[in-house]
Amino acid sequence: MPSQMNPYLSFRDNAREAMDFYQSVFGGTLESSTFGDMNMSDDPAEANKIMHSSLTTDSGFVLMASDTPSSMNLDEGSSYSISLSGDNGEELRGYWDRLLDGGQMDLPLEKAPWGDLFGMLTDRFGTSWMISIEGEDS
């Protein structure tokens, strides 16, 4: 198998809700295990938090996430965006619309100086997304 790069998102305590949302956006198979499932928590309040979750889509995307136990620091100051691009305008516009539900548009999906449609948004969980549709007019 070739090497892959898979985004791994960290949440304080809503990874399950976020990953369910991302599955509704992208489809695919979602697998999750809790700290309790793995016997990795002595704190009953954290047993149901997500230790590891992986969403694999039919398009070959893999998105992973976990909750961060209260005993660990969650660095919310990191800056990152997840970029989706390609020439399937219908698919990418669908992702745009679904990710924007409950989120915030940072830059409208419109023709960019380099000729593609490009937009940026922050979804309801605070994840930044960039979407670029190659070779399409607005």
Quickly list DSSP for 37-78.
TTT--S-GGGTTSEEEEEEE-TTS-EEEEEE--TTS---TT-
Q: State which residues of the chain have pLDDT below 70.
A: 1, 76-78, 136-138
What are the start and end residues of each CATH 3.30.720.110 domain in the chain? 82-133
Return the CATH number of 8-67, one of 3.20.20.140, 3.10.180.10, 1.10.10.10, 3.40.640.10. 3.10.180.10
Q: pLDDT tens across 36-54, in order?
A: 988 877 788 889 999 999 9
The CATH number given to 82-133 is 3.30.720.110
Strand partners, 111: 117
Output the pTM of the full model.
0.88
What are the start and end residues of each CATH 3.10.180.10 domain in the chain? 8-67
